[in-house]
Amino acid sequence: MSKNNRVTLDYIGYIESPFKEKFAIPRQPGLVKAAQGKVILTGDSNNADIVKALEQFSHIWLLFIFHGTQAQGWKPLVRPPRLGGNKKMGVLATRSTFRPNPIGMSVVELTSVEVSNQQVILHISGIDLLDQTPIVDIKPYIPYSDALPNADAGFAQTQPDINVSVTFSHSAQLSLTKYEQEYTGLSQLIEQVLAQDPRPAYKRDKVDDKVYGMTLYDLNIEWQMQDLTSLQVTQITKPCANTSTGNNQ
């Protein structure tokens, strides 16, 4: 086989997600149960027949393109956050986005299948995907073959032991009360995302008084560490409609 052989993949849909930038996206699916989104099928794949019987499965695999980092190319060696960002590993021994082909896979909960006005929409939760992520395939999750509890997972054998407590300032709590009417479950989403400590891996176990920010939906969330195991959300604001926020993945 020629090493120049190529395959062309068509996008079958895209993701609608509360995560508008790479920073603060959970590092694996399922860690933030409150992270809900949609798969919007497009083109020839936007056909009710294509999802017939899919609702029988509680979870699905999404195969997608790392579109936010695709232009940066790939690296044979990367520094996994799980190892504190201090040790290099072969990219194929990690789930880094900087891969020879920018293909990712994520298992998510399928909460419902909607077909309305000739549009097929899959409602999903526990997502770790950037908004507008292109989807190239969807497969049902099969527990007896996809779940192998006795498998050896090397340096990622167990879920990271991170449990940061999250509180809200008075100002942030007032904003939260206001915006939760528009974004159902917003407080739970913020708490679960920040409980994973989305700061760079090398910042863990260090005193850090920097004010951090992330974007969920169209809201800017600012927070600051109080100590090694707790943080406070200081502000929740919605930029003006004419303010450009950009995507930094």
Question: Could you state, in order of their start, the residue ranges of all structural domains in the chain?
Answer: 13-156, 165-237
The CATH class of 165-237 is: alpha beta
- Of the chain, the end-to-end C-alpha distance in Å amounts to 35
Give 63's contacts (C-beta < 8 A, 6+ positions apart).
103, 104, 105, 135, 136, 137, 138, 139
pLDDT higher than threshold 70 for residue 249:
no
**pTM summary value:** 0.86
- Angle CA 171–176–179, to nearest 5: 125
The tokens describing 237, both together, are 């604001």
The CATH class of 13-156 is: mainly beta
pLDDT higher than threshold 80 for residue 165:
yes
Closest CA to 155 of 98, 105, 80, 86: 80
Q: Exposed (0-12), middle (13-18) or buried (19+): which is 61, by Cβ within 10 Å?
A: middle
The tokens describing 71, both together, are 């232009």
The tokens describing 55, both together, are 């609702």
Q: In angstroms, rounded to a whole number, what is the distance separating the alpha carbons of residues 96 and 107?
A: 16
pLDDT for the residue 169: 96
Percentage of the residues of the chain whose pLDDT score is greater than 70? 94
Compute the mean pLDDT over every residue in the chain, rounded to the nearest whole number: 89
